[in-house]
Amino acid sequence: MFKSIMKAKAVVARGMVWQVGDGSKINFWNDPWVYFLGVYKPLRHWVEAQDIPIVTVQDALLVGGYWNEPLLGSLPMPIRSAITSTIIRANIPNKLVWQFTKKGNFSAKSAYHVAPPLKTISPQASTSSFNPKLYLQIWQVKIPYKVQNLIWKASHNILPTYVTDEQMENDSTSTPPESSWINPPLGWVKLNFDASFHKDCYYTNIVVIGRDSRGEFLGGKVSRVKATSPGEAEALAVELAVNYAVQQHWREVIVEGDAKSVILAYAYMISASSWTWNQALCNISMRSSSFNTMLFRFTP
């Protein structure tokens, strides 16, 4: 009985991951909070703990919630990139979720189905053959970053292969809009968002553009962050749009895009379809008080 309980405990522990809020109480080295090479693993799985004054994730942040990149300078470039592309939401509590259900809630059924793969199946970039010494050696050699990246991918059998135009289109979250852009009312700002996500890449490029009632360009923002799915990529683009509008002190805004499920979730503040972007939904809900009116509009 005791052995069964310990095995069950191990399965649960391996399936739980942290959604980062302000980063407090999340152990920087030992808790699974970084999404890297398609999996959530503690940083100590990838690199040895460095001699830097960091215990919690919050310790790696500057005032205002920005990453202290000089403090992370001793870490290999891919690890630093994975860390600094993790979004910090200082106004949202850290949350422990079960990664094998859409809602992030633990269920015995999901644990039963994932327990064998946890022991026998490696993720896309296999971690079972991971060699920390080789990893560190690659990234400490004084050669151009793109060469380091090529060697690292080749050594872990994750080099991209030939991809057709059709496959690239299928991997993308968005399609070119067929309808023309409609001007917002006088005094309003319309923010159009989009995201580029590919299943073989664990990052997404998100963009936001703001225009006024005459169609004049008011400003925009581009960001590169980690994402695990097309839905999360689009959700993060919406969050970027709202955050940007708050920064610009726009009070009447329309947020428009072609991600229907994401737009509906934000428009009616219903539960996110996946736990991976539930934090973004919570953040937008909290920021809604910054606007006189904020509308979400789907455009095909």
Q: Is the pLDDT of residue 58 over 90?
A: yes
Q: Quickly state the pLDDT bin for 45 (edges 50, 70, 90).
A: confident
> How high is the pLDDT of residue 67?
94
Looking at the structure, tell me whether residues 214 and 292 fall in a common domain.
yes
> How high is the pLDDT of residue 11?
65
> How high is the pLDDT of residue 143?
59
Q: Quickly state the pLDDT bin for 47 (edges 50, 70, 90).
A: confident
Looking at the structure, tell me whether residues 196 and 109 fall in a common domain.
no
CATH number of the domain to which 238 belongs: 3.30.420.10
> How high is the pLDDT of residue 126?
41
> How high is the pLDDT of residue 134?
57
Question: What integer best gives the mean pLDDT of the chain?
Answer: 79
Q: Is the pLDDT of residue 3 over 90?
A: no
User: Would 211 be classed as within a structural domain?
Assistant: yes
Looking at the structure, tell me whether residues 94 and 195 fall in a common domain.
no
Looking at the structure, tell me whether residues 117 and 197 fall in a common domain.
no
Residues 6+ apart with CB under 8 A from 230: 173, 195, 197
24-38, 83-97, 177-191, 221-235, range with the lowest pLDDT: 177-191
Q: Which tokens belong to 236? A: 């993060």
For the entire predicted model, the pTM comes to: 0.65
User: Would 159 be classed as within a structural domain?
Assistant: no
> How high is the pLDDT of residue 77?
84
| Residue 188 and residue 294 in contact, taking contact as beta carbons nearer than 8 Å | no
User: Would 74 be classed as within a structural domain?
Assistant: yes
Burial class (CB in 10 A: 0-12, 13-18, 19+), 20: buried
Query: Which residues are paired to 56 by β-bridges?
Result: 27
What confidence tens digit (pLDDT) does each residue in 207-220 have? 999 999 999 999 99
User: Would 134 be classed as within a structural domain?
Assistant: no
Give the end of a domain, one of 88, 122, 156.
122
138 or 14: which leads in pLDDT: 14
Say how many domains are in the chain. Answer: 2
Looking at the structure, tell me whether residues 95 and 194 fall in a common domain.
no
What confidence tens digit (pLDDT) does each residue in 142-189 have? 556 555 555 555 555 554 444 444 443 444 444 444 457 899 999 999
User: Would 176 be classed as within a structural domain?
Assistant: no
Place of tokens 């959700």: 235
Give the end of a domain, one of 122, 147, 168.
122
Q: Is the pLDDT of residue 289 over 60?
A: yes
| Residue 300 and residue 179 in contact, taking contact as beta carbons nearer than 8 Å | yes
> How high is the pLDDT of residue 189?
97
Looking at the structure, tell me whether residues 15 and 106 fall in a common domain.
yes
User: Would 168 be classed as within a structural domain?
Assistant: no
Q: Which of 271, 296, 293 is nearest to 281 (CA)?
A: 271
> How high is the pLDDT of residue 141?
60
Give the end of a domain, one of 100, 122, 144.
122
What confidence tens digit (pLDDT) does each residue in 244-264 have? 999 999 999 999 999 888 898
Range of the domain at 7: 2-122
Q: Is the pLDDT of residue 234 over 80?
A: yes
35 or 128: which leads in pLDDT: 35
> How high is the pLDDT of residue 7?
57
User: Would 237 be classed as within a structural domain?
Assistant: yes
> How high is the pLDDT of residue 147?
59
β-strands 39-41, 34-36: how paired? antiparallel
Q: Is the pLDDT of residue 193 over 50?
A: yes
Looking at the structure, tell me whether residues 107 and 25 fall in a common domain.
yes
User: Would 173 be classed as within a structural domain?
Assistant: no
DSSP string, 89-151: -TTS--EEEETTSTT----HHHHHHHHHHHHH---SS-STT--HHHHHHHHHSSS-HHHHHHH
What confidence tens digit (pLDDT) does each residue in 59-106 have? 999 988 899 999 998 888 888 888 998 999 988 899 999 888 877 777
23-27, 89-93, 122-126, range with the lowest pLDDT: 122-126
DSSP letter, residue 219: E
